[in-house]
Amino acid sequence: MLEGILLGLSTALSIQNLLMVTGGCLVGTFIGMLPGLGPMSIIAIMIPVAITVADPAAALILLAGVYYGAVFGGSTSSILINAPGVPSTVASSFDGYPLTRQGKAGKALTVAAIASFAGGTVGAILLMAFAPALVSVALLFHSAEYFALMVVGLSAIAAFAGKGQVAKATMMTLFGLILATVGESALFNAPRFTMGLMDLQSGLSFITLAMALFALPEAIYLVLDPKRSQTGGGKSGEIKELYITKAEARQIAPVIGRQSIQGFLIGVLPGAGATIASFLGYAVERNIAKGADQEAFGKGSLKGLAAPESANNAASTGSFVPLLTLGIPGSGSTAVLLGALIALNVQPGPRLMMDNPEVFWSVIISMYIGNVILLILNLPLIPYIAKVLALPRNYLVPFILFFTMMGSYIGQNNATELLILVGMGVFATILRFANFPLAPLLIGFILGQMMEDNFSRAANIADGASFLWERPMTLGMLIIALALIVLPTVRSRSGQPHKPKPPEGPTP
């Protein structure tokens, strides 16, 4: 293995490949900031470029750089303008955007950068050390367990079910689950609730809904509520708190540590990925936190931002385990990468390490280098990125609106998306004025489809719902989910702080 690492180092550290990874990171970060272009689309855009680089190792290093850059850049729009461009950065906006509104955008971006760096780096180390061993973990999960895992992820809504909000949060979650049923389901092979519209046949698109629920109401709020807009997009003094203090670093360090490992393990599962990892990370960390710390989640907690950021980056790295060792893509992005590998005549799978050791190891080493380069590139850029918010309101609002519309349009190149965006946006704004939390709606929507598909598969295989109690791992995770949802509610009712539970990720 040491020999392999050295081989990878010598490949990845050549001038050409360092340029590749830097270029890839830069392209990925900047395009990734645009909502609507997630890592998957950016990689797909870059594949023709990569293929002209004849050396497979270099091409893969370039694409890996693009991938990390995109994952990393994606959180920026979540934090700054509450516009999560991909599902895996939704959880980052829960606390990232409140931080921005408190004038701590710089600090939030710094925390995100550090948490991403740590998540990616820990992920790369775990990948290097355990990739072959983790294959069996990846294959432990059946549809039944995936279903249960989604239910655990759904418990992230508890963070929005604060005092007097339980009913509202539950309602919004159910509404999100309902919206997820629009379109075709895996089970029935027929379009549902599409009102005969072809545009709805594949369901509502994530990006449109995210923009309509999060970014659009925020922009409208800036106009309708001038008092808040002063704190939202005001003076240049807003971004003075750039760096985190020692105390804050101590506070988030254990969160980052736990979530890097948990996120990686979830990322290894071919059917879960970065989105589930970020929601689970958020839910688990909120539950571990005590008292005032826990209260702060959803209102601008550094922990609440660090958890999903380290988890989604670690998970992105984790999704390389099934790709590199089995040749099975664990996510949309790695599926695109698989296509690129095959186009480069590299066949991922158990033989990759033997047939093309330089590819295997240089990819892993370049992950590490990519993370370092991302951190070096991004930390100095943060003050400039955060300055976007210092724009006067009459420029900032159109800017957000443009971003929002573009995001929902470029994903599908479909103008109907814009109509849905505006309709849902108006609806969401009304809900916001009525003080309904919108995050549970989006969480329900994101997880709903995966929950239904996995449930129907598991029920089909088991000839009924018996898998819910007959499969120990499924049952265990469902009990954890129940505890994660019920305990905080009971605790806040009784007003007595409960002894914190140990972190209970999906025990592999």
Partner 1 sequence: MSALRTGRRALLTAAVASVALAAPALAQDGPQIDHIHFLIGGGAGGGWDGTARGTGEALTAAGLVETATFENMSGGGGGKAIGYMIENANSLHDTMLVSSTPIVIRSLTGFFPHNFRDLTLIAGTIGDYAAIITNADSPYQTFGDLIAAFEADPSSVAVGGGSVPGGMDHLVAAMAFEAAGADPIALKYIPYDAGGAMNAALLSGEIAAGSTGFSEVVALASAGEIRVLGITATARVSALPDAPTFEEQGFDVDFVNWRGFFAAPGLPEDKVAAYRGVLAAMYDTAEWEAVRARNGWVNIHNSGDDFLAFLENQEQVIGDLMHKLGFL
- Any contact of residue 120 with partner 1 (CB under 8 A)? no
Instruction: Give the N- to C-terminal CA distance of the chain in Å, as an integer.
Output: 25
- Any contact of residue 180 with partner 1 (CB under 8 A)? no
Cβ proximity to partner 1, 119 vs 203, nearer residue: 203
Q: Cα–Cα distances in Å, from 443 out to 127, 198, 326, 503?
A: 29, 25, 30, 21
Query: What phi, psi does 183 have (nearest 5°)?
Result: 105, -160
DSSP letter string over 318-351?
Answer: HTHHHHHHHS--SSHHHHHHHHHHHHTT---STT
- Any contact of residue 273 with partner 1 (CB under 8 A)? no
Cβ proximity to partner 1, 162 vs 191, nearer residue: 191
- Any contact of residue 424 with partner 1 (CB under 8 A)? no
Select the residue interacting with partner 1 from 162, 270, 488, 505 (CB under 8 A). Answer: 270
Minimal distance, residue 481 CB to partner 1, in Å? 21
Minimal distance, residue 72 CB to partner 1, in Å? 20
Cβ proximity to partner 1, 46 vs 244, nearer residue: 46
Q: Pick from 36, 79, 39: which is nearest to 308 by CA?
A: 79
Question: DSSP secondary-structure letter at 244?
Answer: P
Q: Pick from 60, 454, 142, 134: which is nearest to 322 by CA?
A: 134
- Any contact of residue 253 with partner 1 (CB under 8 A)? no
Three-class SS of residue 135? helix
Whole-angstrom distance, CA of residue 284 vs CA of residue 280 = 6
Please check whether residue 341 is in contact with residue 335, taking contact to mean a CB–CB distance below 8 angstroms: no
Select the residue interacting with partner 1 from 2, 15, 246, 413 (CB under 8 A). Answer: 413
Whole-angstrom distance, CA of residue 358 vs CA of residue 6 = 10
Q: Which span sits near partner 1 by CB under 8 A: 162-170, 251-259, 276-284, 347-355?
A: 347-355
Select the residue interacting with partner 1 from 345, 435, 494, 496 (CB under 8 A). Answer: 345
**3-class secondary structure per residue, 463-504:** CCCCHHHHCHHHHHHHHHHHHHHHHHHHHHHHCCCCCCCCCC
Cβ proximity to partner 1, 205 vs 259, nearer residue: 205
Minimal distance, residue 15 CB to partner 1, in Å? 13
Indicate the burial class of 480 (C-beta count within 10 angstroms; 0-12, 13-18, 19 or more).
buried
Q: Which span sits near partner 1 by CB under 8 A: 139-147, 301-309, 364-372, 389-397?
A: 139-147
Select the residue interacting with partner 1 from 201, 230, 231, 236 (CB under 8 A). Answer: 201
Please check whether residue 101 is in contact with residue 231, taking contact to mean a CB–CB distance below 8 angstroms: yes
Please check whether residue 290 is in contact with residue 497, taking contact to mean a CB–CB distance below 8 angstroms: yes
- Any contact of residue 184 with partner 1 (CB under 8 A)? yes
Q: Pick from 248, 279, 361, 266: which is nearest to 12 by CA?
A: 361
Select the residue interacting with partner 1 from 4, 234, 254, 349 (CB under 8 A). Answer: 349
- Any contact of residue 132 with partner 1 (CB under 8 A)? no
CA angle 282/288/290 to nearest 5° reads: 115
Residues near 397 by beta carbon (within 8 Å), at least 6 away in sequence: 219, 222, 223
CA angle 184/188/190 to nearest 5° reads: 45
- Any contact of residue 326 with partner 1 (CB under 8 A)? yes
- Any contact of residue 318 with partner 1 (CB under 8 A)? no
Whole-angstrom distance, CA of residue 50 vs CA of residue 69 = 16
- Any contact of residue 52 with partner 1 (CB under 8 A)? yes
- Any contact of residue 189 with partner 1 (CB under 8 A)? yes
Cβ proximity to partner 1, 24 vs 232, nearer residue: 24
Please check whether residue 100 is in contact with residue 80, taking contact to mean a CB–CB distance below 8 angstroms: yes
Select the residue interacting with partner 1 from 2, 15, 190, 434 (CB under 8 A). Answer: 190
Element (H, E) at 40: helix 39-52
- Any contact of residue 133 with partner 1 (CB under 8 A)? no
Select the residue interacting with partner 1 from 342, 376, 482, 490 (CB under 8 A). Answer: 342
Select the residue interacting with partner 1 from 226, 350, 398, 497 (CB under 8 A). Answer: 350
Among residue numbers 143 through 162, which ones bind partner 1 (CB under 8 A)? Answer: 143
Select the residue interacting with partner 1 from 376, 461, 482, 486 (CB under 8 A). Answer: 461
Select the residue interacting with partner 1 from 1, 140, 224, 486 (CB under 8 A). Answer: 140
- Any contact of residue 339 with partner 1 (CB under 8 A)? yes
- Any contact of residue 457 with partner 1 (CB under 8 A)? yes
Q: Which span sits near partner 1 by CB under 8 A: 309-317, 361-369, 453-461, 472-480?
A: 453-461
Interhelix angle 90-101/302-318, rounded to 10 degrees, is 150
If you count them, how many residues does the chain have? 508
Write the single-letter amino acid at 444: G
Minimal distance, residue 155 CB to partner 1, in Å? 24
Select the residue interacting with partner 1 from 25, 34, 42, 62 (CB under 8 A). Answer: 62
- Any contact of residue 234 with partner 1 (CB under 8 A)? no
- Any contact of residue 224 with partner 1 (CB under 8 A)? no
- Any contact of residue 419 with partner 1 (CB under 8 A)? no
Residues that bind partner 1 (CB under 8 A): 23, 40-41, 44, 47-49, 51-53, 62, 138-143, 183-184, 186-191, 198-199, 201-203, 270-271, 322, 326-330, 332, 335-336, 338-339, 342-343, 345, 347, 349-351, 412-414, 453, 457, 460-461, 463
